Amino acid sequence: MPAALATLGGRELIAVAARNNPGACNAPFPVHPLGTDGTVGGSYQDAALPPGYVAGVTGGIDVRDLWWGPDQHLYATISAWTCDDSRSAQDDKKVPHRPATLFRLDGERWVSAGAQPATVVRPLDRRTRMVLVIPDCIGHIERDDAAAYCNSGPLYRERDGKRTKITGGVLSLSAPPSAS
Report the pLDDT averaged over residues 73-102: 89
pLDDT at 8 over 90: no
Q: Using one digit for the tens of pLDDT, what is the confidence trace for 153-174?
A: 999 999 998 999 999 999 998 8
User: How does pLDDT run across 91-100, given as a tens digit for each residue?
Assistant: 788 889 999 9
Q: How confident is the model at residue 180 (pLDDT cuts 50, 70, 90)?
A: very low
Please tell me the distance from the alpha carbon of residue 72 to that of residue 125, in angstroms, as a whole number. Answer: 12
**Arithmetic mean of pLDDT, 43-71:** 87
Tell me what percent of the residues of the chain surpass a pLDDT of 70: 94
CA 99 to mean position of chain CA atoms: 9
Give the 3-state secondary structure of residue 87: coil
Residues whose CB is less than 8 angstroms from the CB of residue 16 and which lie 6 or more positions away in sequence, other chains included: 1, 2, 3, 4, 31, 32, 34, 66
Quick one: the chain helix, strand, coil %, rounded to 5?
5, 50, 45
Res 110: pLDDT: 94
pTM of the model: 0.87
